[in-house]
Amino acid sequence: MAWVKTPSRGRFITFEGIEGCGKSTCIRHVAGRLRRSGRRVVVTREPGGTPDGLFIRKLLLESSDAMDPRTELVLYCVDRWIHSARVILPRLRRGGIVLSDRYYDSTMAYQGAGRKLPSSFLREWVLGVGNLPRPDLTLLLDCPVETGFRRLRSRGFSRDRMEREALSFHRRVRAAYLERARRDPERFRVIDSSRSLSKVLLDVEGTVENLLPSSRRR
Ligand code: T5A
């Protein structure tokens, strides 16, 4: 697999982590800060970052039928191919900053470590098709699985299909993320998201600012 060359003017930043680790909260905060400083930012997510992707998201997260892990993997990949072609690459080509709530590291962690799919099959599907830009920066919001679920419980939403998986599944996912970050320290920054929200946001903000050229309208 070759990553598609990231258009040089844009910046692609992905946020990863287990359920309830605080990704969405951090993205909202960072996007607000960047926009106030005059930058062009798009916030997007997987699955479901496009209108067609929303159908796939519904199938993946709301279906009550058991789903074969390979079917699940393929659906996440299809969602990503549409997302990359319709949202991520066009925005990067226009010089924007793309903040994505999850990207291909989610598949490697959830379908790879969580579902234990064979790595050859995984790589073939996740990266084989090409046309995916490599993130310039990946923030891994890391906290214990119990902390993430406690936060989700206090938020009060019902659990989706993935969140209903056993704690052991989510622990494998967390361990896989940490291992990926250890192996690729240039791209990953691990943020301890078990701390108070104000500390986490400050850390995330500083990490993102370090990647970007000094504040100016882009
Ligand atoms: N998936 C996805 C795969 O299996 N393979 C793939 O390839 C891809 C792309 C997506 C699901 O799909 C799976 C992974 C997921 O299971 P989703 O609905 O998009 O599901 O859900 P998540 O991405 O998991 O997002 P969540 O909303 O569940 O969690 P977040 O975004 O990490 O957490 P957030 O920011 O909403 O925070 C949760 C609560 O905690 C509070 C917030 O205020 C909020 O109430 N909070 C804190 N409280 C105290 N201290 C802090 N530091 C806090 N940070 C946040």
Mutational pocket test of ligand 1: of 18, 23, 105, the residue with most ligand atoms within 8 Å of the beta carbon: 23
Comparing 55 with 159, the larger pLDDT belongs to 55
List residues near ligand 1 (CB under 6 A): 17, 19-25, 45-47, 61, 76, 101-102, 106-107, 110-111, 151-152, 155, 160, 162, 193, 196-197, 200
Q: Which atom, in ligand 1's list, is nearest to the CA of 77?
A: 7
Mean pLDDT of 43-47: 98
pLDDT digits 0-9 by tens, 63-111 = 888 899 999 999 999 999 999 999 999 999 999 999 999 999 999 999 9
Query: Can the peptide bond before residue 90 be classed as cis, meaning omega within 30 degrees of 0?
Result: no
Q: Which residues of the chain form beta strands (DSSP E)?
A: 11-16, 41-45, 97-101, 137-142, 188-192
Q: Residue 156 pLDDT > 90, yes or no?
A: no
pLDDT digits 0-9 by tens, 5-40 = 766 679 999 999 999 999 999 999 999 999 999 999
pTM score of the predicted model: 0.95
Q: Residue 161 pLDDT > 90, yes or no?
A: no
